[in-house]
Structure 1
Amino acid sequence: MQVQRGIVAQTNPVDNDGSSAPVTYELLDIRNAMTHKHADSLYMNSERYVWTGKFDPINDTTVELLNTRRELISAPCFEFNQNTGAFTFYGTTAKVPLGTYEFDIRATNENGSKDFKNIATFTLFEADAFEVKAGGGAWFKDNTDQSGDIGAPEVKIQKLSTEGASVILKIVDKNGVAWNPKNNEILKRGDRNSFETFARFHPLVLSDTSMTCNFEVIPFPLIQGPQGYLIYYRIPGKFARVDPGLTPTSDRGYSVNPRFEFHIYQEGTYLVTVRLKNVTRDVL
């Protein structure tokens, strides 16, 4: 069985292969398949939330409401279902070493019990817990309906920590220089989605170089906005200079309008950098 570390996953139930039902299963031990020693790290308690009530992602938009639907517990990173023989792995496997693990179970029905040593293995593997979707970019001439293409921005995601549940968003020019959200260098576009659209439980925290969202609940974004999951922004011409040849003239009356989309499927702290490849930050 292959299990991605840090992602909620469930294995298939046991096929009883004609054994008399009902059959119950008991997990006897999990060991490191290389050392054959008890896998202490899998049994170690870690804090994680469990749902205690029905969560409505549309209306439950405060931490206070969210906390009426969930409970913080300290428990191992997995559960074993005695009725199906299946494992459920939780996001706290992010704290468990990669590798292959072997396990033993005991199966019991009306005819008695039988122990199965090394009945199977599962392998914890590492893979990206996020993805970037297609985006685009355009210039708009101030006070006109003229527009043109400047190419899709480059979006890179870096996981900074397994702790927390935050996205730090930076929009930078082709040289990696960030625009300043606190100085209104990055504007929302009317009724289009922005990063703030998906900040459901906490207000965005702005700095001179970034916007930070504490998203609380995975995945992020949790639900779609009016334009799906795309994020739109406008950078006025007085803060941005487009490379020569992309706009009809060389004056600064052109705003820069990136759109981009990304998804995060695991708790942690992430840096998302959106780089506009044909634009330079240049404040007039």
Structure 2
Amino acid sequence: MKNKIIIIACSCLLLFIGISGCKKITTGFLSDNLRYTANPLTVGQGVFLISTGIANDGSTPPFKITLLDVRNKATGKREEAFFKDYEVAVWKKAYNPLVDTTLALIDAKRGYEKKKPLYILESSGQLMFTQASDNVPAGEYLVDLQIENPNGTKVYKGICTINLTATKDYEYVNNPYFQALPVGSETAIPFPISENQPIDLSIGQAVNATLTIKRLAATPNQIVFKVLDKNGAVFPGKALSDRPSGNTYLKNLKTFAYKTTVTDTAILYDYAQARFPDPYWDNQSNALNCYYRIYENYIQSIDYADPLNWSPPTKMQYLTYTTQPVKVNFRINTKLNKPGKYLYELKLRLTKKP
């Protein structure tokens, strides 16, 4: 009798296990509180960026995440520019500024494709911004998503705010300046007020040099570099020499460009992409500093700040130095954040020989 009871009990246990094993188990859940940790998410127009993914608040993957809408935060209306295709340059292979030094080598790696300004990575929810976002007006936008997992589907309106900011076409990394050196010497002439003292870095103005930058067109990728004296006379391109340093020369824009053309009024630098110079150079010797020299056969006189009458920006008086013939070394340092054709005009406090 005792054995029968044990057998019956075991049979019931096996039956229970069998029934339980056939029962469908619900996989996890889909939280109402999915979110982005970076919210608002700030990105510059035309800047390629991939955000972090969705913080899933314990929800069960896998996810299927769909971009439903992007709305102007102020008006609540759909921003159609996010859903249009634009032609952008893309790299089919990684660009190497040390290797890709001709247009042929660059074009072998580069192509053009139609891209939308914003995509969403379906499984992670990462927001991917492309260079096509340069076509979207700057402003704040709300992102609406649909998220599906094995437990269901939900809509998340305004799950992230995008702060799309206007990207500066260019930046002054530091102020331009020049130093005067006697003929036959590599030691600068000391003046009471430092030549590289900035007056207004936001407009590229220092004690004896002002660099004006203007974006002329979206194409081609080229810098037209002109150097003028204080009266507006333009130096020929050949007057802008490399600056010697021992047995070699310091970097200038030619170092970063794939093509350099010298004209009667300028030097033209063709470059592959923005950012220019390529970020590779940020951590190299002298970083993005560009050094040049103008020899004494082009220079009639130089100016220097009058220390007794010097109170920039409202009061800036100069004295003229004609004690001896001089050559000058000058330096600029800039970044281009958007591709296109730019005019660089560097005005130096000196006079060009007629």
| TM-score, structure 2 normalization | 0.70
Contact 1:192 1:226 in 2 (8 A): no
Say if 1:104 and 1:115, in contact at 8 Å, map to a contact too.
yes
Does residue 151 of structure 2 align to residue 111 of structure 1?
A: yes
TM-score (norm 1): 0.85
Correspondence for 1:263 = 335
**Equivalent runs, 1:106-255 vs 2, <5 Å:** 106-134=146-174, 135-149=176-190, 151-152=195-196, 153-181=209-237, 184-190=238-244, 191-200=249-258, 203-222=259-278, 223-224=280-281, 227-240=286-299, 241-243=301-303, 247=321, 249-251=322-324, 253-255=325-327
Distance 1:144 1:30, change over 3 A: closer
Partner Cα separation in structure 2 for residue 60 and residue 92 of structure 1: 24
Match for residue 24 of structure 1 among 58, 64, 76: 64
Structure 1 stretch 109-118 or stretch 36-45: which is displaced more?
A: 36-45
Larger radius of gyration: 2
More helix by share: 2
Partners of 1:210 and 1:146 in 2: CA distance: 28
1:281 aligns with 2:352: yes
- Percent same amino acid among aligned pairs? 25
Query: What is aligned with 2:90?
Result: 50
Cα deviation for residue 226 of structure 1 reads 5.8
Separation in structure 1 between the aligned mates of residue 132 and residue 340 of structure 2, nearest angstrom: 11
The alignment partner of 2:111 has SS state of strand
Using the alignment, how far apart are the partners of 1:269 and 1:91 within structure 2? 17
CA offsets per residue over residues 15-59 of structure 1, 9 Å max, x none?
111111222311112233344333222222211122322333221
Q: Report the AA paired with residue 213 of structure 2.
A: I
Question: Contact 1:232–1:257 (CA<8 Å) still a contact in 2?
Answer: yes
> Which segment drifts farther, 261-270 or 123-132?
123-132
Separation of aligned partners in 2, 1:73 and 1:125:
24
Cα deviation for residue 236 of structure 1 reads 2.0
Distance 1:118 1:144, change over 3 A: closer
Change (3 A) 1:127 1:49: closer
1:149–1:246: 8 Å Cα contact kept in structure 2? no
Q: Is 2:132 the counterpart of 1:73?
A: no
Gaps of 5+ in 1: none
Tell me how far 1:145 sits from its aligned partner: 4.4
Instruction: Give the structure 1 partner of residue 103 of structure 2.
Output: 63
Q: Name the amino acid aligned to 2:180.
A: W
Offset, 1:228: 3.2
Distance change (3 Å), C-alpha of 1:147 and 1:246: farther
What is the CA–CA distance in structure 1 between the aligned matches of 2:212 and 2:49, rounded to whole Å? Answer: 26
Select 2:344's aligned residue among 254, 269, 272. Answer: 272
What is the CA–CA distance in structure 1 between the aligned matches of 2:243 and 2:57, rounded to whole Å? 59
**Structure 2 unaligned regions, length at least 5:** 1-40, 197-208, 305-318
SS in 2 for 1:193: coil
Structure 1 residues 198 and 45, CA gap change in structure 2 (3 angstroms): same
Cα–Cα, structure 1 residues 21 and 75, in superposed 2: closer, same or farther, change >3 Å?
A: same
RMSD over equivalenced CA pairs, Å: 2.5
The number of residue pairs the alignment matches comes to: 276
Q: Partners of 1:148 and 1:156 in 2: how far apart?
A: 26
**Corresponding residue SS for 1:64:** helix
Please give the secondary structure, in 1, of the residue aligned with 2:132: helix
